[in-house]
Amino acid sequence: MDNKITMYSLYDCDEWRSTASMSVIFETLSLQALNDKIKELLTEDDTYLNEDDSIDVDNDDLIESVACQEIDCLYLEKRVIDLNAQTVELC
């Protein structure tokens, strides 16, 4: 039986994504909840997008934009939690 859970952590950070600047702003098991949170952040705070950015805030795949580091000051971490082995693997 495969008892694995994927967890996503969204971090606020500086534009260089230095580990000292990172702070968790959202964690979830749901991709839809994560996408909704990213959309909320982008529409309510102009910190994350420059005028030059061509990110469509209404896009249903904002997660990919964060994962590809197309959005400033946001960092995404994905972990797979294996309940059988009782391990956590960073992806």
Q: How many domains does the chain have?
A: 1
Question: Which pLDDT tens digit goes with each residue over 33-89?
Answer: 999 999 999 988 888 887 666 778 887 789 999 999 888 899 999 999 999 999 999
Structure tokens at 17: 């994504």
Question: Using 50, 70 and 90 to split pLDDT, how confident is the model at 2?
Answer: confident
Residue 52 has what pLDDT?
A: 67
* Domain residue limits at 66: 4-90
Least confident range from 2-11, 20-29, 60-69: namely: 60-69
CA–CA gap between residue 4 and residue 52 (Å, rounded): 40
- Which parts of the chain are beta strand (E)? 4-12, 23-28, 74-82, 87-90
Edge-to-edge strand ranges of the sheet holding 87-90: 23-28, 4-12, 74-82, 87-90
DSSP 60: S
Residue 57 has what pLDDT?
A: 82
Residue 62 has what pLDDT?
A: 93
Tell whether the torsion through CA atoms of 48, 50, 51 and 55 is positive or negative: negative
Beta bridge partners of 74: 12
Residue 90 has what pLDDT?
A: 95
Beta bridge partners of 76: 10
Residue 56 has what pLDDT?
A: 80
Residue 51 has what pLDDT?
A: 66
